[in-house]
């Protein structure tokens, strides 16, 4: 399996159907990724930077069963390019 993930051009990871405000979690994580260049701007412009609901949504997303599986490390760490899907949302 190691060779498969290392050689894959792109690995798609399905976290499940949209639930528990997963869309909000994806928007928040995407905004954080964009903010890595200018965090101050993120804090000023992101409507949910300090939103408890957004933080809770991210927490629930990371409590999904996929994260507890042992092969997560192979899928995520060894892959060259990973796309996470949850419902109709995705993060690359």
Burial label for 52, CB within 10 Å (0-12, 13-18, 19+), is exposed
Please report which confidence band the pLDDT of residue 72 belongs to, taking 50, 70 and 90 as the band edges.
Answer: confident
Q: What is the phi-psi region of residue 89: left when phi exceeds 0, alpha when psi lies from -120 to 50, beta otherwise? A: beta
pTM (predicted TM-score): 0.81
| Token representation of residue 1 | 């399996």
Query: Of 8-12, 57-61, 69-73, 75-79, where does the model show the most confidence?
Result: 57-61
């Amino acid at each position: 399996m190691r060779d498969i993930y290392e050689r894959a051009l792109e690995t798609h990871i399905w976290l499940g159907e949209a639930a528990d405000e997963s869309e909000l979690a994806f928007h928040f994580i995407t905004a954080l990724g964009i903010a890595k260049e200018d965090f101050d701007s993120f804090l000023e412009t992101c409507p949910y930077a300090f939103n408890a609901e957004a933080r809770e949504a991210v927490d629930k997303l990371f409590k999904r069963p996929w994260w507890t599986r042992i092969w997560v490390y192979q899928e995520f760490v060894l892959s060259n390019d990973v796309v996470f899907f949850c419902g109709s949302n995705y993060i690359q």
